[in-house]
Every structure is written in C-alpha cells, then in structure tokens.
C-alpha cells in the first residue's frame, strides 16, 4: 500500500537528499514511487541515484512541487533563490504546501521571501547518518507553519534518527556541530585506523575497531548519563597507555583544534546567512 504515504519531493537530489530518501525507505515512511526529485541537468549521478530507488527524477523543479505533499529543499545555499524562484514564477503551481529547507545558512525570513506567500516553511538541519536511521536533526518553524507541520517534520525526521525543535539563533552552531560533525568523525576514524596500521594492524581490522570504538563511546555518553570526562577517566589507568596517548593529544592541541573547527564552521554559516543570495 502506498496510498497513505506522504508524497515527498526533493528539490536537489544530491548527497543529503539521497541519504534522507534511503532512510525514509528503510523506515517504511516512503517507497521509491512515493518520492520525486529534481537536479541540475549536468548531474546525471544524482538523477541515476533517485531512479535506482524507484523514484521519478527530473531536471525541473515545478513538477516536483506539483506532485508532492512535502518538498525538501536540498540544493546548495547559493542555488536556493534560483530553485525557489522557479516555483514563485510558475503561474500554474499551487504552492500551499510544506517546504522543509535543509540549506545551510539560509534563514526562515529569506526562505519565506523566495517562496510564494501561501507556502509553509520549516528549516531543518539534518546529517548524513539519516541514511542508516542514526541521523541527528533539528528544526525551526516558519511564520506560516502550523502545529501539524511541526508534527509532520518530527515524524519524518524521527523515523531516520533524533529530531528536536530549537530556536533559529542556534542553527549556525548546530550546523557546525551535528550537520558537519560526521565529517570530523570520519577523519578521526581514518586517523585512528592509520595509527593502528602504523603500529602493525591489518587495515580492515583497524577500520572495524575504530568505527566500533567511536560507536561504543558515543553510546556510553548518550545512554549512561555520565559526564564524558568521567568516562574518559574510567579508561585511563594509572601509568597506562591511555594516559600516554591523551598526553600526546593535549600536546598537539587536539581539543583546541576541535573547538576551533566548530567555531570556523559556525562562522562560515553566518557568512552565508548574512550574504544576499539573490546577488
Ligand atoms: N551533505 C550534508 O551532509 C548536509 C548538507 N546539508 C545541506 O543540503 C544541501 C545540499 O547539500 P549536498 O547534498 O551536500 O549537495 P550536493 O551538491 O550533493 O547536492 C546538490 C543538488 O542540487 C542539485 N541542483 C543544482 N542546481 C539545481 C537547480 N537549479 N534546481 C534543482 N536542483 C539543483 C544538484 O544537481 C545536486 O543534486 C546544502 O544546502 C547543504 O547545506 C545539510 C546538512 C548536511
Ligand atoms: O558542508 C556544508 O556546508 C553542509 C552543511 C552541513 C554539512 N554539510
């Protein structure tokens, strides 16, 4: 049965859209045939990826809006005014629909200006682990979004991970932390495995151990309600190997580098938010 599933459209069918679409399918919230996407005509890889899911894949945005109940705006920030402009310009489109924008740095105010006045807007910041239903998402409702829209947003995003409502003022820092965060963790996993390989471990074993260690440590923080500093102390035996490893990390400025990364990424979001994407 597909008749009572929401018809979900993606304006922009790239990496994040594909992660969400695959997560929705594995959550049973969508089927290939209940989704539709658009992408740039040069982007044959995204078109192919959506077709392989069984979804319709187009190079035009207006039909995506016409055929969907919920539209996920998943183009780069600089493309948002162009893509939403296509919808505003179209005389024959009923845009009294829910638009979830995942674009970094594009504010609710800007989104509401780019879309027809009847459109309802929610701004979401997801991350790619939505693909395996371990995503982290937050959302902010726009001025015309209803309680039901907030419920629909939560239903979609909780099916692929966690989802909470936040004030818009936090979104840039959240983008820097959980939106971009998987990339930092992948670098950490690569570095852990590289270290293991340097010290003689086979590469595949090193990746399995590194990824499971990150997963286990994250679950400890999330599920034991214990401060990460206490959990770190539990690992650090007197005169042991962990103390030696931690000392090296502190000498190299590991903690300061991570804090600096979040600050730099937040700053980049603010630059995008402050720029006028129509210019
Ligand atoms: N990749 C990630 O982990 C996350 C990305 N985001 C946001 O998602 C958005 C997309 O990011 P990615 O998926 O990484 O980028 P991407 O480059 O993989 O995807 C962009 C898509 O937009 C399409 N596109 C370009 N021009 C278009 C147009 N005029 N009309 C319709 N589609 C058009 C491209 O063909 C492509 O499919 C960005 O705004 C980003 O800030 C948010 C959270 C996480
Ligand atoms: O790198 C970016 O701009 C996007 C936003 C968060 C993750 N990817």
The ipTM estimated for the assembled molecules is 0.99
| Ligand 1, atom 17, residue with closest C-alpha | 14
Task: Give 274's pLDDT tier (boundaries 50, 70, 90).
Answer: confident
pTM above 0.90, yes or no: yes
Residue 57, beta-bridge partner list:
37
Q: Is 58 in the pocket of ligand 2 (CB under 6 A)?
A: no
**pLDDT at site 95:** 86
Q: Report CA torsion sign: 249, 252, 254, 256.
A: positive
Residue 210's closest CA among 191, 229, 235, 228? 191
Distance 204 CA to ligand 1 centre (A): 31
- 61 among annotated binding-site residues: yes
Q: Is 175 in the pocket of ligand 2 (CB under 6 A)?
A: yes
Would you say residue 279 has pLDDT above 60?
Answer: no
Give domain 8-166's CATH architecture. Answer: 3-Layer(aba) Sandwich (3.40)
| 181-272 is a CATH 1.10.3730.10 domain | yes
Q: Is 180 in the pocket of ligand 2 (CB under 6 A)?
A: yes
| Ligand 2, atom 7, residue with closest C-alpha | 180
Q: Is 273 in the pocket of ligand 1 (CB under 6 A)?
A: no
Distance 105 CA to ligand 2 centre (A): 9
Delimit the CATH 1.10.3730.10 region(s) of the chain: 181-272
The answer to whether 86 touches 23, Cβ cutoff 8 Å, is no
Delimit the CATH 3.40.50.720 region(s) of the chain: 8-166
Residues 33-77 have pLDDT tens digits of 999 999 999 999 999 999 999 999 999 999 999 999 999 999 999
Q: What is the mean pLDDT of the chain?
A: 96
> 192 burial class (0-12, 13-18, 19+ CB within 10 angstroms)?
middle
């Amino acid at each position: 049965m597909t008749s009572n599933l929401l018809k979900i459209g993606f304006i922009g069918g790239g990496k994040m859209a594909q992660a969400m679409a695959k997560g929705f399918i594995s959550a049973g919230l969508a089927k290939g045939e209940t989704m539709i996407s658009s992408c740039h005509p040069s982007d044959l890889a995204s078109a192919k990826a959506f077709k392989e899911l069984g979804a319709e894949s187009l190079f035009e945005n207006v039909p995506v809006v016409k055929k969907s109940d919920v539209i996920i705006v998943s183009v780069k920030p600089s493309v948002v005014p162009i893509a939403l402009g296509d919808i505003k310009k179209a005389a024959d489109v009923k845009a009294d629909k829910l638009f979830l924008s995942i674009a970094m740095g594009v504010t609710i105010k800007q989104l509401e200006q780019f879309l027809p006045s009847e459109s309802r807007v929610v701004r979401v910041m997801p991350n790619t682990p939505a693909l395996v239903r371990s995503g982290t998402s937050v959302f902010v409702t726009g001025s015309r979004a209803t309680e039901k829209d907030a419920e629909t947003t939560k239903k979609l995003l909780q099916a692929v991970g966690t989802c909470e409502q936040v004030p818009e003022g936090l979104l840039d820092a959240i983008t820097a932390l959980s939106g971009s965060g998987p990339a930092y963790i992948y670098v950490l996993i690569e570095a852990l495995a590289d270290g293991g390989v340097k010290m003689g471990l086979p590469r595949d074993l090193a990746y399995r151990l590194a990824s499971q260690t990150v997963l286990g440590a994250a679950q400890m923080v999330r599920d034991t309600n214990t401060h990460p500093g206490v959990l770190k102390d539990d690992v650090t035996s007197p005169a042991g190997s962990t103390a030696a490893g931690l000392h090296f990390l502190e000498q190299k400025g590991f903690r300061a580098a991570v804090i600096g990364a979040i600050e730099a990424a937040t700053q980049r979001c603010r630059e995008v938010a402050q720029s006028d994407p129509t210019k």
